[in-house]
Amino acid sequence: MTGLLARAEFDRLIDAGTVPAGAFIMSTDAAVTALYADVGFDWVLIDREHGVMDNSDMRAHLMAAQANGAVAVVRVLENNPTLIQQSLDAGAQGIMVPKIETGAMAERAVLASQYRKGGRGMCPVVPATNFTGEGWSAHSRTTNENVLLIPLIETMRGVENVAEICAVDGVDYLFFGLADLSQDLGIDMERDIDQLIVLWEKVATTAHEHGVRVGAPLGYGFDALADFGSLDSDLSTLRTAAQKSIAGFRASSSG
């Protein structure tokens, strides 16, 4: 198995009192992933739901994360077993699945991430196996135990059904998606953040009651209950820095 053992690494950090901090990666350039990992981010989210990267871009990001010691999670476009298997075969250590709303949807995603009957297809000639079937029994067992399958709770239906989602065997982590949830509710993500915090507290409390760890974007009022979270989105961070740079230059040159 390539890279870190994702669940073991997340569990180790959390048990030590550290909140695993991640970044959403939208850029096609794998140097961005290498940079985030090198400066100390614990995990990266390779975004294939909203990002524009293809399979080759994804593979380059996964290699950059592996080389620099960060857990690599891929967000797939939809709850599709083929997309989940493709990402794991390429070397992803975790999968984030959008718009999980029921226990049945969570079960479908978990099954697709596991080497077992009806689940992930067996193929030793892929990057995740270092292109060898040697020690397959140990590899498949270790992979099944350590892959992070992370349902994304980002609709009101998902919030309402979070208990049944948490009850699914193999769901040990969740992520709270405030942007799509605010859109689903027809509210403003920033102006109506108090409403989102109430829903977050319901999701987080229910998850913890089921022994499930839960993550969210940090800095919005979710931090106290978050077991892990995201701090940055690469291109929005670059845009903010670029705006600051040009604004500072214009102000000084006009003076």
Active site residues: 50
Cβ–Cβ under 8 Å, residues 225 and 201:
yes
Beta pairing partners, 23: 44, 232
Dihedrals phi, psi of 211, to nearest 5 degrees: 75, 20
Cα separation, 215 vs 199, whole angstroms = 13
Query: Which residue in the block uniquely carries the two structure tokens 């030793």?
Result: 124
Residues 6 or more apart in contact with residue 138 via CB below 8 angstroms:
none
Q: Please tell me the distance from the alpha carbon of residue 113 to that of residue 7, in angstroms, as a whole number.
A: 13
- Determine the angle formed by the axes of helices 30-39 and 55-68, rounding to 10 degrees: 20
Question: How far apart are alpha carbons 110 and 116 in whole angstroms?
Answer: 11
Contact yes or no for 135/110 (Cβ under 8 A): no
Beta-carbon-side half-sphere exposure of residue 204 (alpha carbons within 13 Å):
21
Contacts of 131 (CB under 8 A, 6+ apart): 124, 125
d(Cα 255, Cα 251) in Å, to the nearest integer? Answer: 6
Cα 52 from chain centre: 17
Show the tokens assigned to 70. 């960060």
